[in-house]
Chain A
Amino acid sequence: MNIIVCYKLVPDPEDVVAKPDGSISLDQAEWIISDYDLMAIEAAVQLVEANGGKVMALSVGPSQLANSKAKKDVLSRGPDELYLVVDDGLRDADTSLTARTLAAAVAKLGEFDLILTGEGSADLYFQQVGMQLGELLGLPTFNAISKVEWSGGKLAVERSLEDEVEALEVPAPAVLAVTTDINQPRLPSMKEILKAGKKPVVEWTLGDLAVQDGLAQRVEVLSVRSPKQVNRKQIRIEGKPEEAAQALIGHLSKEGVL
């Protein structure tokens, strides 16, 4: 089976710096594979290991995507081929432009049985792109997928919802967003890291694709600021454990929260 797995390269959320004026700086941030997408990549690799075929990794985004370390990183996790749409016009792409660009790239990739995405992205976590992509392609589309099996040209999946798990038979090709507990992504082995540099990489720009509705964005971003901090009392309680425990209970009792 041929699987396309979509991933996003994001500024590491732990490197986001809040400046004193409340603005946010990403200048120091390392760009990494969004951690939710690691499960999608692992799920794709496991399915191909079990059923044969190939995994095509696909990502769209700004110039950081073309960084050779970033390319090697994704390929060392098992995909056979890498397809990128690298264009600074995608730097602040909203979910709609991202999904439309992915759809245009998918159209160039040839036959496939399944597209996998992560649950959401580590930077924005809107959980939208996979669902929009599936609808744009007119394919069966589901999120919250915690198990995928391939049998007889169909997908047997489990979907973990709030109150129940749906066992579904989904016609292929389909677009599925996987949960974070679908698997435990393996760490790339030395062998895989060495192999990664020799795998085929295809790079396009937006000019190479026919993106539906062009570059129109559907969301206008007005500001990105660090959240207002609530001023807390910041009372430090000192002393031996027993004294500290008593003092804390005293404070909490006065606050009326015991």
Chain B
Amino acid sequence: MAKEMWVFAEKPALQAELLACAKTLGDAAAAVVLGNQAAVDQAFAQGADKVFWLGEKPDHLLLDDYVPTLAALLKEQKPAGMLVGATRRGKAIAGRLGAALGVTVLADVKKFIAEGDSLQVSHMVFGGAAVRLEKAVTDIMLATVSFGIVEALPPDPSRKGEVVKVAFVEPKWKAVLRERKPRPPSSVNLAAAKKVVCPGRGIAKKEDLEMIFELARLLEAEVGATRPLTEGLDWLPRERYIGVSGAFVKPDLYLGVGVSGQAQHTVGITESRVIVAINKDGEAPLFSQSDYGIVGDLYQIVPALINALKARK
């Protein structure tokens, strides 16, 4: 029997990447789609061979309210697995489905490795200090997958396929949605940034970040951050945090300023093409993972870099 790999993602761009990934893992890729006819067409264009259509979501329902529907569908259809977009809602849904069905949930998979008949996955553990290789032991495998592990296929609007309509299963409990407050649209897109300047604990006070932003402007770079700057010190929003529980970046240039280079952070930058470290501590671990390093006071080096870049323009 043909092995189907399913995808379920609330964000269309993530669905596209997951479909590209699913096509390499199964004989056919199916998308579970919550949305209108355009969303169904989009899933086919992104590479789905089949769509399980949950219909459009009424405003009063949460995505989470579809867990019983998804559980019933998985139980009935028994695909090889389902890749769930690792948004916050996606992670909650994958966990609840895993428990409801008694199946494996592989969290935040960074790589899928086909090994004969079995599928192995790797992900980071111990804050990035180790890579763990695992495999599912149940018939259906659930995996949460974030942006960036596979590239989306070029969209092909001419693609069509079978649409299976799925009936809503009323959940046993519901939360009441009182209000949706849009978050100010984040102007930060670290995952897509070609250049990243990342300040670390070497920055003495919040006001000094201004020079980091100026350096980033001159380089046309995005500003990232290590975890202490976004949690604890609260100098920068969490969206800027690069590391094991934050963003993974793969820019052409990563410039760490006053970043020591703990594994919890560097796990998020290893795919950068060129890594530069500026730190007054010559023993900082980031130097051994850098292409270029300047041992020195960032309060002298950064202004010098700013002046030199200005002179170049």
List A residues at the B interface (Cβ < 8 Å).
Answer: 11, 13-14, 16, 18, 24, 95-96, 99, 119-120, 122-136, 138-144, 156, 159-171, 180-181, 213, 217-230, 232-238, 241-242, 244-246, 248-249, 251-252, 255-258
Contacts and interface: CB of A to CB of B under 8 A. Distances in A.
B137 A232 contact: no
Given A124-B125, A224-B130, A233-B291, A162 B87 contact: yes
Given A123-B125, A227-B124, A241-B304, A169 B195 contact: no
B33 interface: no
B276 interface: yes
B62 interface: yes
B148 to A, nearest CB: 15
Interface stretch (B18-26, B162-170, B267-275): B267-275
A177 to B, nearest CB: 8
B92 interface: yes
A181 B133 CA distance: 31
A51 B108 CA distance: 37
A252 B183 contact: no
Interface stretch (B1-9, B99-107, B202-210): B99-107
Interface of B: 62, 64, 67, 87-89, 91-92, 94-100, 102-108, 120, 124-138, 172-173, 175-183, 185, 195, 219, 231, 238, 244-245, 252-253, 262-264, 267, 270, 273-276, 287-297, 300-301, 303-305, 307-309, 312
Given A128-B105, A166-B177, A245 B301 contact: yes
Contact of B100 (A135, A159, A234, A236): A135
Contacts of B287: 234, 236
Given A123-B125, A241-B301, A218 B95 contact: no
Given A126-B108, A128-B105, A232-B289, A142 B175 contact: yes
A257 to B, nearest CB: 4
A134 B64 CA distance: 13
A9 to B, nearest CB: 15
A163 B14 CA distance: 14
Minimum-distance CB pairs A-B, first 5: A131-B95, A126-B107, A135-B99, A245-B304, A132-B99
Contacts of B136: 218-220
A166 B174 CA distance: 14
11 contacts: A96-B102, A125-B107, A127-B91, A161-B183, A180-B231, A222-B120, A225-B130, A227-B267, A233-B291, A235-B292, A248-B305
Contacts of B292: 233, 235, 237, 248, 251-252
A251 B273 CA distance: 13
A181 B270 CA distance: 27
A188 to B, nearest CB: 18
Q: Is the interface of A mostly helix, strand, loop or mixed?
A: mixed
Contacts of B133: 221-225
Contacts of B308: 242, 245-246, 249
Nearest to A36: B245
B42 to A, nearest CB: 18
Contacts of A219: 104, 106, 134-137
Contacts of B134: 219-222
Contact of A224 (B102, B125, B276, B293): B125
Nearest to A132: B99
A257 B252 contact: yes
B107 A242 contact: no
A140 B107 contact: no
A248 B301 CA distance: 10
Contacts of A229: 289
Contacts of A141: 64, 92, 96
A169 B176 contact: yes
A129 B91 CA distance: 11
Contacts of A126: 105, 107-108
Given A123-B126, A135-B97, A161-B88, 20 more contacts: A16-B126, A99-B99, A124-B126, A125-B124, A131-B96, A134-B99, A140-B173, A141-B64, A141-B92, A164-B183, A169-B176, A181-B231, A218-B102, A219-B104, A223-B133, A227-B124, A234-B293, A235-B293, A236-B294, A257-B195
B126 A234 contact: no
A36 B219 CA distance: 35
A222 B134 CA distance: 5
Contact of A95 (B105, B178, B182): B105
Given A13-B264, A181-B238, A218-B104, A225 B96 contact: no
B103 A128 contact: no
A29 B233 CA distance: 27
B96 A237 contact: no
A166 B183 CA distance: 10
A251 B253 CA distance: 12
Nearest to A11: B126
